[in-house]
């Protein structure tokens, strides 16, 4: 039985995680964490999630979780909160599953340092389908090479704070790695006015924000006389939450290390 802390437990993703962990026979909700100014503090996390009382109050301080005997924390919050949670988890020997997006390069380095002490799964997208997308896009990019232009388009709801999405960034990084490019230099986020002809190394990154779109990602490979488009559409947040719970269970018995969903799903050939 895996004892799980849910960070951001009163948020949209957090509530789905509380529900799915509670329904999982191999896991239980051991703690529910939120921002210290959240008005729901003190309420039962199960009631907030709409599944009834589970005897786990929503708390606003990591200090209140010291005695909950957790095995793993699932974190879909914000970069600053995630880094604070990582520091706490490292100090207390608690594994982590992190789906937070918007992390900087320095933030990621801090995750890598933490992973020297605890097992940590970090992925910009926990969806099984998206992680298959990552693998397929890498294979297609390797086959098509530099003869095809690459454009990445993502669409999300109007409340999403970071852009482009972590998933889109990861797709861009995958394409750059396969084609021998530098994502930081070759990604193009804005085209306006007289920008001139597209260069061969560009990786176009386009962002849409509208309504309640859960998440859509399209990778276009455009060649002369033809184009190939690969798209993933998320219809609900349950696929992300289910992937995170799967990762939390997968971590049982794992040693320290920085893992991703490709590891969890067995999609890597070198590990």
- Give me the percent of the chain exceeding a pLDDT of 70: 99
Query: Known catalytic residue: 156?
Result: yes
- Residue 101 is predicted with a pLDDT of 86
For the chain, the domains span 2-122+237-264, 128-234
Assigned fold of 2-122+237-264: Rossmann fold (3.40.50)
- Residue 237 is predicted with a pLDDT of 84
Assigned fold of 128-234: Dihydrodipicolinate Reductase; domain 2 (3.30.360)
Q: Are 12 and 41 in contact (CB under 8 A)?
A: no
Q: Does the bond joining 153 to the residue before it have cis omega, within 30 degrees of 0?
A: no
- Residue 236 is predicted with a pLDDT of 87
Q: Which residue has the higher pLDDT, 203 or 270?
A: 203
The catalytically annotated residue of 35, 92, 135, 160 is 160
- Residue 271 is predicted with a pLDDT of 39
pLDDT tens column, 177-230 = 999 999 999 999 989 999 999 999 999 999 999 999 999 999 999 999 999 999
- Residue 210 is predicted with a pLDDT of 98
Alpha helices of the chain — where are they, by DSSP H? 12-23, 45-49, 79-92, 105-114, 128-144, 166-179, 183-186, 238-250, 261-264
Q: Are 97 and 247 in contact (CB under 8 A)?
A: yes
Global model pTM greater than 0.75: yes
The catalytically annotated residue of 156, 185, 200, 232 is 156
- Residue 269 is predicted with a pLDDT of 62
Mean pLDDT of the 23-33 span:
96
Helices (H) and strands (E) in the chain, counts: 9, 12
Query: Known catalytic residue: 117?
Result: no
Mean of all residue pLDDT scores within the chain: 95
pLDDT tens column, 70-114 = 999 999 999 999 999 999 999 999 999 999 988 999 999 999 999
Q: Decide if pLDDT at 63 tops 60.
A: yes
pLDDT tens column, 163-181 = 999 899 999 999 999 999 9
Q: Decide if pLDDT at 124 tops 70.
A: yes
């Amino acid at each position: 039985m895996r004892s799980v802390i849910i960070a951001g437990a009163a948020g949209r993703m957090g509530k789905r995680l509380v529900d799915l962990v509670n329904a999982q026979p191999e896991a239980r909700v051991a703690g529910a964490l939120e921002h210290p100014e959240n008005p729901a503090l003190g309420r039962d996390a199960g009631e907030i999630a709409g599944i009834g009382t589970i005897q786990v109050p929503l708390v606003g301080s990591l200090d209140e979780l010291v005695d909950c005997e957790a095995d793993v924390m699932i974190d879909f919050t914000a970069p600053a909160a995630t880094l604070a949670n990582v520091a706490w988890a490292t100090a207390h020997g608690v594994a982590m599953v992190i789906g937070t997006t918007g992390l900087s390069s320095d933030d990621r380095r801090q995750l890598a340092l933490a992973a020297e002490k605890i097992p940590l799964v970090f992925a910009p997208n926990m969806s099984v389908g998206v992680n298959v997308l990552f693998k397929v896009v890498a294979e297609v990019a390797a086959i098509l090479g530099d003869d095809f232009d690459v454009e990445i388009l993502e669409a999300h709801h109007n409340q999403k704070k970071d852009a482009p999405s972590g998933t889109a960034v990861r797709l861009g990084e995958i394409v750059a790695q396969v084609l021998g490019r530098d994502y930081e230099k070759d990604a193009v986020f804005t085209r306006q006015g007289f920008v001139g002809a597209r260069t061969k190394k560009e990786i176009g990154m386009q962002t849409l924000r509208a309504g309640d779109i859960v998440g859509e990602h399209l990778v276009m490979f455009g060649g002369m006389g033809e184009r190939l488009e690969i798209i993933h559409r998320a219809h609900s947040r349950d696929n992300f939450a289910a992937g995170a719970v799967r990762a939390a269970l997968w971590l049982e018995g794992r040693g320290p290390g920085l893992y991703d969903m490709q590891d969890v799903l067995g999609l890597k050939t070198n590990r």
